[in-house]
Amino acid sequence: MKEKLFIKTIHQLNFAGAERAELFLKLDFTDQPSILLNLSRHVQLIIMNALADQDLVNILNHLDPDEVTDLIQILTVDRRNQILDKLKNELKKTVKILKEFDPHSAAGLMNLDYIQLDINDKIIKTLKLFREHEKRTGRLPVIYITDHGQLKGYLPGHELGFARPFDRVKKYVRQISTVKYNATQDEVVHLFRTHSQNKIAVLDDHENVIGVIYSDDILKALKEEESSDLYDFAGVNEEENVMDSVAQKVKHRYKWLIINLGTAFLAAFTVSLFDNTISKYVLLAVYMPIVAGMGGNAGTQTLAVLVRGIAFKQIDFKTAWPTLKRELLAGIINGFINGLLVAGVIILFNRNLKIAIVLGLAMIVNLFVAGLFGTLVPLFMKKIGKDPATSATIFITTATDVLGFLVFLGLATMILK
């Protein structure tokens, strides 16, 4: 299927509503597997639930085991078992093994397309096992080389075309990185980033090979992780998508909005403490949104940097002090620059030096607060085992709003006597 038509088909299925399954079944059978893989998880579930068992089995039989495992995991347990029993025997056996592992671990990312040879075996035996695996599964295997059961490396597939049949495989062995089956997805990603390679061997507790992870598997996992982080950062449920109904959107978002409403009341309460000051100097009300807006924006900037640093394992609570110092100093300097600008505007247009000083000082303090909370909030959430992006913005904006108004109006009360 051509790329433009492929994208158009994905779009139609995403927005087709109740007609999704019918439209999907009208597609060319050879295109159905790749189309299904590229739909959102929400739409995948709707289509798979609407398909008859045999129709779904026919599609899954044309996918790789790790892809099948990902898809059937979103079905109910009963339907999952029904579908699993009807898959091709080789695929069924592989999927049954893969689905037992944590999908976010190294074992959950791996596939089982590998063969194993002893370091003293000959190329002719390798060719035989290679062909048997490809004929049985339809997929090319990784060739692992072991010595007394311990992994020594792998044999690049292209070497089979150049090696002589009775050469020993040890002549062509290449090093390969390894990871334990229970390593986290973050640990696997870090290994790929720090070692230039396109595959990693997965080992069990006894250092025996149990699978292989390709860079493509990691790219797919990273894509899903980025989508999840984006939802978390915005305070939107991960299962929500652009095709949801109004009722579903309300259900996914109302709790988050109520929490935001509560923090807004807290900021409003802070402002109410200074009713007399605001009533005497109405100009203060004009510039209050600047205090809140600048603090929130600065805090979000810091948060974005920290979340990225945490994801790359560049920072944690133990190593936070140097970063915190830099963020606080940057906040003070940026506050001073922006404070001078806003003070200049007030002097130019309102001819009020005292309010200019108040707003300038409040800007410095609020950007300092933004750096402080923008650094500590994501680190604290990571420390307690939560996603550092989840709901972090609500705490940062609350801090910058409440403390920003408190400083701004408090200084105004003292200086504008």
How far apart CA 299 and CA 320 sit, in angstroms, is 16
Domain holding 382, by residue range, is 246-415
Question: Which one of 156, 190, 224 terminates a domain?
Answer: 224
Report, as an integer, the average pLDDT of 23-49: 84
Instruction: State what percent of residues in the chain have pLDDT above 70.
Output: 89
Q: Is the pLDDT of residue 9 over 70?
A: yes
Q: Would you say 195 and 177 are in contact if contact means Cβ atoms under 8 Å apart?
A: yes
One-letter identity of residue 97: I
Assess whether 186 and 296 both reside in one domain: no
Q: What does the pLDDT read at residue 234?
A: 45
How far apart CA 303 and CA 392 sit, in angstroms, is 8
Assess whether 88 and 28 both reside in one domain: yes
Both structure tokens of 406: 């408190």
Question: Is residue 402 domain-resident?
Answer: yes
Identify the CATH number of the domain in which residue 160 sits: 3.10.580.10
Assess whether 280 and 301 both reside in one domain: yes
Q: What does the pLDDT read at residue 330?
A: 94
- For residue 325, give the nearest of 337, 315, 313 by alpha carbon: 315
Q: Is the pLDDT of residue 316 over 70?
A: yes
Question: Which one of 68, 100, 132 terminates a domain?
Answer: 100
| DSSP per position, 354-403 | HHHHHHHHHHHHHHHHHHHHHHHHHHHHHHTTS-TTTTHHHHHHHHHHHH
Q: Is the pLDDT of residue 36 over 90?
A: no
Residue bearing the bigger pLDDT, 201 or 99: 201
Question: Is residue 173 domain-resident?
Answer: yes
How far apart CA 388 and CA 383 sit, in angstroms, is 9
Q: Look over the chain and give the mean of its residue pLDDT values, rounded to a whole number.
A: 84
Assess whether 54 and 184 both reside in one domain: no
- For residue 287, give the nearest of 355, 385, 218, 219 by alpha carbon: 355
- Of the pLDDT bands very low, low, confident and very high (cuts 50, 70, 90), residue 391 is low
How far apart CA 269 and CA 274 sit, in angstroms, is 9
Question: Is residue 235 domain-resident?
Answer: no
pTM of the model: 0.54
| Number of continuous H segments (helices) and E segments (strands) in the chain | 18, 6
- Of the pLDDT bands very low, low, confident and very high (cuts 50, 70, 90), residue 376 is very high
Q: What does the pLDDT read at residue 224?
A: 59
Q: Count Cα neighbours of 137 within 13 Å in the Cβ-side half-sphere.
A: 24
- Of the pLDDT bands very low, low, confident and very high (cuts 50, 70, 90), residue 395 is confident
Assess whether 95 and 127 both reside in one domain: no
How far apart CA 44 and CA 35 sit, in angstroms, is 10
Q: What does the pLDDT read at residue 188?
A: 85
Assess whether 70 and 214 both reside in one domain: no
- Of the pLDDT bands very low, low, confident and very high (cuts 50, 70, 90), residue 235 is very low
Q: Would you say 5 and 31 are in contact if contact means Cβ atoms under 8 Å apart?
A: no
**DSSP-derived secondary structure letter, 157:** G
pLDDT digits (tens, 9 = 90+) for 170-217: 899 999 989 998 898 878 888 887 777 788 999 988 888 989 998 877
Q: What does the pLDDT read at residue 353?
A: 92
Q: How far apart are the first and last CA of the chain?
A: 74
Both structure tokens of 123: 């190329």
Q: Is the pLDDT of residue 233 over 60?
A: no
Report, as an integer, the average pLDDT of 389-396: 72
Q: What does the pLDDT read at residue 356?
A: 93
pLDDT digits (tens, 9 = 90+) for 349-369: 998 999 999 999 999 999 999
Q: What does the pLDDT read at residue 1?
A: 55
